[in-house]
Every structure is written in structure tokens, then in C-alpha cells.
């Protein structure tokens, strides 16, 4: 037996007890003839006191940081108590000790505020993982995992594993591929998700499936993505959208309760994709705060249902159609949008200049910013004084929902960029005003996404979610009765396919998409039509997805599902912006594991066995 107790459990009640501990040396402090050692393990830190009698042994066997130590002694009350740690009332008066293993001097301090930079910590990740801050994240991850499993088990879901070596059918992201030695010249792919397998399990009658599963996508790693990441992947048969939403907001709420002790009793809000874009410029809006967008001018083909709104815009009849305002910036813009920022009406010139610079950054890409300050005395100070009289400025401010003391920030330009920019500006202003609080959680369902997206490069439709997502029942006819070919790329939005809505839903937490799914296509003909709409020939569809089309011929039930981004969910619950902090062994931004130094070249012999020649030397 190495230890009778852990380093986190001894209290004043244990006083007088004879104990044995084992752990890592956190610190060594000498006070005259006495030596204090903080001994650390996963459970905590306990102070060890080495009296004068042990000095000879200590001198012969000097202890250093991260040495693995075993010590036997008696629990005694500390005179100088440490209220910050659970074991702070006691210390162990050591009678004997032995060094179980030595340690080289660690390349950084194993403390919350370590002196180690990112690269160094990743290279020595096994040391980084000893740090309390990292350990807390992994504990939270395990708690989320446990909570999800308990909930899904209670709801009758089976955890069923699906294979990692599968067929390459790239749609969306690029596949990671694995050469097959036994089938030279042929490759497996690692799954981007278990999508088709979980659908096949529905065909097989396992009507509630889940898996906490690795997914692999060979994407360029934009901010905070990992080439392998984990999903809580779920599927159900005999369900409609409503069933799925209820089941999985239940899962999210259960996780809040189990992991954070939060009773999320409110109903989870819902919005359509179109309303989300209209109100927030974003399909994953952060609704912890309002600051909705005022649409002063917008292209009708993007928001066909907003025709009436266009008539009432303060920019003039038709929402500033043509040269309605006389202000060239607005008149020439496709889109004019505004937000009203509460309590910022007294912003100085310097502050408005700074926000203007912010929107002009290449990432945001705006040419400038217009503003109206709604002063306490009822007057309006604006960067557009020359073009608009007070009445007009008031009308614009009113349309933006501004109150006295607010500032209205206005952007104008091309629809896509401007809407994205106002969405970013909204988040930025909320951040500056402290409205994006780590400990406040707000879920939102986003529904009715477009089924298709237009891909400029290949001049064709691509599935916005994935090709197995069903259209809304009322749109099935539109899909069947129209030719998907896009003849006029510039007018793709006017093609009937652009208006087809998907039976798909995303669950958003604090402005992050934490999950998404759909009600699936389950009839062969419609699935074939879908593949054709995506530009796949019959042969190609059969080659890639023949197994699924075949399965649909043998009594496929209606089904649907969802997958949660497990790493992201954990990161948000842990109040962090980075999923890497919640993964034991993450990769860096170039997809490298710097600890393993992977990927790496392989032996000539291995290549030969695989019958592969590389062009890279
Ligand atoms: N497999 C999908 C994804 O990875 C999720 C789903 O539709 O259930 O995004």
C-alpha cells in the first residue's frame, strides 16, 4: 500500500492519526532546522513537516520540485493555519519518507499562474495537466459527460459504437484518409460524424441512439477548431422536430443542473433563421442582451417576408430606394443597419473615432461608421448633420429604438458584409459594456434554416446542414418540381431552391452554436432527388451512398437527431473561449501535436507495404 489517504482529505478530525501519503513535491521551504514540503496529488495539497531528526537523511537525498515522495507521519494541528485550502488546519509531522522517483527541473512552474508559454506547456502537456487550472477543466468535462450519459440512459437511449474506418464521401469538410495495406491503392476515411450509421441504426430499429464520439475533419483550423473533436451524437426514430427540441433542451438543462447547479427553468427561446439574421445579423445570436438591429434598408430578395417594413423606413419611402435620402453613402448602399447602444450617448469624439477604426479593420471591412448621439437635452448630434435635419435624425434614432442617453451606430454597404459587420459590432459593444457575462447562460433554438446554400466556385447548390436533412413538408413539392440548375449565378437568390427551408435546428448558447441537427429524409426517391440537387449523378450517388439508399428500401422509419459539440459546450460552461483548454491532448493551430511531434513521416518500409509513394521529399 502506497498511501492511507490522499493529499486532499485530512482535516482537524484526523488529528493524532498515523498516516501515509504519496504525491508530488510542489514546494520545499526551509525554516532554520525545519523543512516544510507541500505534497500534491489530484485531490489537493497537504503540508509535510520534516523536523531536525530528518535533516541528515534530507541532506543525503535532497528533494526537488515534482519529486515523487512517500511520507509516513502523524496528523497534527497547524499553528499557522491556511484557510485557503481544505487541509489548511493540519500538517503531517513526518517520521519517515522515501523518494519513489526523482524529477528533472520542470520547464515551467506547476501553478495556476504558470510562467510557461503555450508552446512549452503543450510540449510538456503531461506536466501542464498537473496544474489545478487544467485539472478543473477536465473535471468539468467529465461531469458534463456523466450528466449527458445519465440523462440519455434514463431516457432509454443506447450507447452504440460506430466504426472509425469508413468510406470517404466528402461533402462539406475534407476527409482524413487512411491507406489500407490489405487493399492496396484503397483508402478508408475517418468519420466526419457517425451521421449515416446512426440513421442506419434507426432503420435497424434502435430508436434511441447516442454516442460520445470523436469526429474528424480536415479543415483549415480557423480560430479554435480541432481536427479531431468530440460530439454527443444522438438520433431518434418516430419523432418530429418538436420531440427532438424537447428531448434535447432537456439534456442541456440537465447538464446545467448537474454541472453548474443552475435550475434553467425558463422555456428555451426559439427563433427562425430569417428572424435571427434580421434581428441580429447572425444565425447564432447571443441573446443575453437585446441591442437588436434596426433594418433601415435591405434587399427584399434576402428578406421577402419583410416587404411591409420597407415601407416604413425613416430613410424614406421604399427604405431609401434609389436616391431617397440625398446622402450618397446610404443611397448607394444595398443595406443600411443600425444598433442603439444604451448609455453611450455621451461618447467623446475620441471614442466614436475608435469605434470607427474598429469597423474599418480588415476583419470587419466597413468603409466607415455613422452615428447619432441622443443627448439628455433632447438634441441629436450626428456625423450626418449635413445631410439630415433634427426631425430625420430623431426618426432614425426612434427606428433604432434609441432612448435619451443612447448612441445609434449605423453601417451601410453590401448586404452580406454589412450585416455581418453590424453583428460583430453588436457583440463588441456588448463586450465593452460588460453584457457578455461568463456566469449567465441563455439557450436559443434557431429553426427553419435554408436547405441549400449557393456555392460560387462550383455554381451549384450545397447542403447547408448535410444531404440527409429533409426539406419542410411544404417545400418538398418545390424541390421535386424545379430543376436545380442555376442559369444566372448573379440571381441565385431568385431561384426557387433558395427559398426552400430545412427541417433543421441549431441550439445556441451565449452566441455559440453548441449543437445542430435535423429531421432526416427517409424515402429513397427524395434522397435521390437531394443528391441530384447537389449535382451528384445517379452513379455517383449510388457509389457513395448506395448502402443508405438501399436501406431506405427496407422500411426506414421517420427519424431525426442532433449532435452537440461537446468540447465547445464544456468550454462555455467553464467560462473559457478556447476548446483546447478542455481537451487533454489538443492539437495546435497547424493541426500538430507538439508533444508527439505528429504528424510525421513514416518509414520507407511502411510506405512500401502500403504501396504508396509520396511526392514530398
Ligand atoms: N451529423 C451532424 C453534424 O455533425 C449532426 C446531425 O445532423 O445530427 O453536424
Q: Tens of pLDDT along 347-361? A: 889 999 999 999 999
pLDDT band at 326 (very low <50, low <70, confident <90, very high): confident
Mean pLDDT for the chain overall: 94
**376 has pLDDT over 70:** yes
Question: How remote is the CA of residue 437 from the centroid of ligand 1, in Å?
Answer: 29
pLDDT band at 370 (very low <50, low <70, confident <90, very high): very high
Residue 99 φ/ψ, nearest 5 degrees? -85, 115
The protein residue whose alpha carbon is closest to atom 4 in ligand 1 is 193
Q: Is the peptide bond before 599 cis (omega within 30 degrees of 0)?
A: yes
pLDDT score of 322: 53
Summarize pLDDT for 70-95 with one digit per residue, the tens: 999 999 999 999 999 999 999 999 99
Question: How remote is the CA of residue 195 from the centroid of ligand 1, in Å?
Answer: 6
Which atom from ligand 1 is nearest to the alpha carbon of 235? 8
Question: How remote is the CA of residue 40 from the centroid of ligand 1, in Å?
Answer: 42
Question: How remote is the CA of residue 234 from the centroid of ligand 1, in Å?
Answer: 9
Mutate to test the pocket of ligand 1, among 516, 521, 562, 568 (most ligand atoms within 8 A of CB): 516
What are the cell numbers at 441?
447562460
Summarize pLDDT for 398-418 with one digit per residue, the tens: 999 999 999 999 999 999 999
Residue 305 to residue 19: CA distance in whole angstroms: 74
pLDDT score of 468: 97
**296 has pLDDT over 60:** yes
Task: Identify which of 439, 441, 444 has the alpha carbon closest to the alpha carbon of residue 268.
Answer: 444
Residues enclosing ligand 1, CB less than 6 A?
193, 195, 466, 516-518, 561-563
Between residues 46 and 328, which one has the greater pLDDT?
46
Question: How remote is the CA of residue 201 from the centroid of ligand 1, in Å?
Answer: 15
Domains of the chain: 12-101 (2.40.50.140), 136-262+564-569 (3.30.930.10), 289-436 (3.30.1360.30), 450-501+523-556 (no CATH)
Residue 29 φ/ψ, nearest 5 degrees? -125, 130
pLDDT score of 311: 81
Give mean pLDDT, residues 356-379.
Answer: 94
Q: What is the DSSP letter of 457?
A: T
Q: Give CA angle at 518 (515, 519), nearest 5°.
A: 150
Give mean pLDDT, residues 359-371.
Answer: 96
**172 has pLDDT over 80:** no
pLDDT score of 323: 55
Task: Identify which of 123, 108, 116 has the alpha carbon closest to the alpha carbon of residue 592.
Answer: 123
pLDDT score of 294: 96
Residue 204, phi-psi category: left (phi > 0), alpha (psi -120 to 50), beta (remainder)? alpha
**320 has pLDDT over 50:** no
Summarize pLDDT for 102-149 with one digit per residue, the tens: 999 999 999 888 888 889 999 999 999 999 999 999 999 999 999 999
Summarize pLDDT for 494-544 with one digit per residue, the tens: 899 999 999 999 999 999 999 999 999 999 999 999 999 999 999 999 999
Give mean pLDDT, residues 255-271.
Answer: 97
Question: How remote is the CA of residue 214 from the centroid of ligand 1, in Å?
Answer: 12
Which atom from ligand 1 is nearest to the alpha carbon of 192? 4
**pLDDT > 90: what percent of the chain?**
87
Residue 23 to residue 53: CA distance in whole angstroms: 22
Residue 573 to residue 491: CA distance in whole angstroms: 43
Residue 401 to residue 57: CA distance in whole angstroms: 76
Question: How remote is the CA of residue 275 from the centroid of ligand 1, in Å?
Answer: 23
Give mean pLDDT, residues 181-196.
Answer: 96
Give mean pLDDT, residues 176-185.
Answer: 96
Summarize pLDDT for 586-602 with one digit per residue, the tens: 999 899 999 999 999 99
pLDDT score of 378: 87
Entry pTM: 0.94
Burial (0-12, 13-18, 19+ Cβ within 10 Å), 52: exposed
pLDDT score of 390: 92
The protein residue whose alpha carbon is closest to atom 8 in ligand 1 is 562
Mutate to test the pocket of ligand 1, among 162, 171, 175, 195 (most ligand atoms within 8 A of CB): 195
Dump strand ranges (E) for 349-399. 370-374, 380-382
Helices (H) and strands (E) in the chain, counts: 18, 22
Dump strand ranges (E) for 142-268. 158-159, 177-179, 187-189, 208-216, 228-237
Residue 330 to residue 105: CA distance in whole angstroms: 64
**318 has pLDDT over 70:** no
Amino acid at each position: 500500500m502506497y498511501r492511507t489517504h490522499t493529499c486532499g482529505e485530512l482535516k482537524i478530525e484526523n488529528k493524532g492519526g498515523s498516516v501515509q501519503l504519496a504525491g508530488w513535491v510542489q514546494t520545499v521551504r526551509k525554516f532554520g532546522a525545519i523543512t516544510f514540503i507541500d505534497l500534491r496529488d489530484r485531490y489537493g495539497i497537504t503540508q509535510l513537516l520534516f523536523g531536525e531528526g530528518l535533516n541528515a537523511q534530507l541532506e543525503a537525498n535532497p528533494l526537488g520540485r515534482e519529486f515523487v515522495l512517500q511520507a509516513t507521519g502523524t496528523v497534527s494541528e497547524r499553528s499557522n493555519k491556511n484557510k485557503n485550502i481544505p487541509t489548511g488546519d493540519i500538517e503531517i509531522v513526518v517520521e519517515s519518507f522515501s523518494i519513489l522517483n526523482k524529477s528533472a527541473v520542470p520547464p515551467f512552474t506547476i501553478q495556476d499562474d504558470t510562467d510557461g508559454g503555450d508552446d512549452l506547456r503543450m510540449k510538456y502537456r503531461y506536466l501542464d495537466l498537473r496544474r489545478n487550472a487544467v485539472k478543473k477543466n477536465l473535471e468539468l468535462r467529465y461531469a458534463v459527460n456523466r450528466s449527458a450519459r445519465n440523462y440519455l440512459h434514463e431516457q432509454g437511449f443506447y450507447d452504440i459504437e460506430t466504426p472509425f474506418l469508413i468510406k470517404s464521401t466528402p461533402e462539406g469538410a475534407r476527409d482524413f484518409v487512411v491507406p489500407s495495406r490489405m487493399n492496396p491503392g484503397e483508402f478508408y476515411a475517418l468519420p466526419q460524424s457517425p451521421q449515416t450509421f446512426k440513421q442506419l441504426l434507426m432503420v435497424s430499429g434502435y430508436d434511441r441512439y447516442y454516442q460520445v464520439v470523436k469526429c474528424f475533419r480536415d479543415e483549415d483550423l480557423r480560430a479554435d477548431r480541432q481536427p479531431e473533436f468530440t460530439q454527443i451524437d444522438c438520433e431518434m426514430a418516430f419523432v418530429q422536430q418538436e420531440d427532438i427540441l424537447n428531448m434535447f433542451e432537456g439534456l442541456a438543462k440537465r447538464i446545467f443542473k448537474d454541472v453548474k447547479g443552475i435550475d434553467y427553468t425558463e422555456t428555451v427561446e426559439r427563433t427562425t433563421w430569417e428572424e435571427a439574421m434580421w434581428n441580429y445579423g447572425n444565425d447564432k445570436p447571443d441573446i443575453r442582451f437585446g441591442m437588436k438591429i434596426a433594418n433601415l434598408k435591405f434587399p427584399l430578395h434576402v428578406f421577402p417576408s419583410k416587404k411591409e417594413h420597407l415601407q416604413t423606413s425613416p430613410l424614406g419611402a421604399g427604405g431609401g430606394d434609389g436616391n431617397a435620402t440625398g446622402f450618397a453613402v446610404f443611397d448607394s448602399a444595398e443595406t443600411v443597419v443600425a444598433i442603439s447602444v444604451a448609455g453611450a450617448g455621451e461618447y467623446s469624439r475620441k471614442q466614436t473615432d475608435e469605434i470607427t477604426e474598429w469597423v474599418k479593420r480588415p476583419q470587419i471591412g466597413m468603409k466607415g461608421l455613422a452615428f447619432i448621439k441622443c443627448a439628455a437635452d433632447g438634441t441629436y448630434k450626428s456625423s450626418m448633420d449635413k445631410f439630415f435635419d433634427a426631425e430625420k435624425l430623431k426618426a432614425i434614432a426612434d427606428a433604432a429604438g434609441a432612448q435619451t442617453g443612447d448612441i445609434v451606430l449605423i453601417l451601410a454597404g453590401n448586404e452580406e458584409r454589412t450585416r455581418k459587420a453590424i453583428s460583430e459590432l453588436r457583440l463588441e459593444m456588448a463586450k465593452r459594456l460588460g453584457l457578455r457575462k461568463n456566469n449567465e447562460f441563455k439557450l436559443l433554438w434557431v429553426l427553419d434554416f435554408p436547405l441549400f446554400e449557393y456555392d460560387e466556385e462550383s455554381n451549384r447548390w450545397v447542403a447547408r446542414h448535410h444531404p440527409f436533412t429533409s426539406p419542410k413538408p411544404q417545400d418538398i413539392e418545390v424541390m421535386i418540381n424545379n430543376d436545380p440548375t442555376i442559369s444566372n449565378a448573379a440571381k441565385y437568390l431568385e431561384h426557387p431552391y433558395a427559398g426552400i427551408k430545412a427541417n433543421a435546428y441549431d441550439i445556441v448558447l451565449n452566441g455559440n452554436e453548441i449543437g445542430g441537427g435535423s429531421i432526416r429524409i427517409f424515402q429513397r426517391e427524395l434522397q435521390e432527388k437531394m443528391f441530384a440537387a447537389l449535382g451528384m449523378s445517379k452513379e455517383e450517388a449510388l457509389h457513395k451512398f448506395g448502402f443508405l439508399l438501399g436501406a431506405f428500401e427496407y422500411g426506414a422509419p421517420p427519424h431525426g437527431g442532433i449532435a452537440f459539440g461537446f468540447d465547445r459546450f464544456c468550454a462555455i460552461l467553464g467560462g473559457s473561449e478556447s476548446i483546447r483548454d478542455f481537451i487533454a491532448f489538443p492539437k495546435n493551430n497547424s493541426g500538430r501535436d507538439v508533444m508527439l511531434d505528429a504528424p510525421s513521416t513514416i518509414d520507407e518500409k511502411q510506405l512500401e507495404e502500403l504501396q504508396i509513394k509520396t511526392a514530398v521529399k
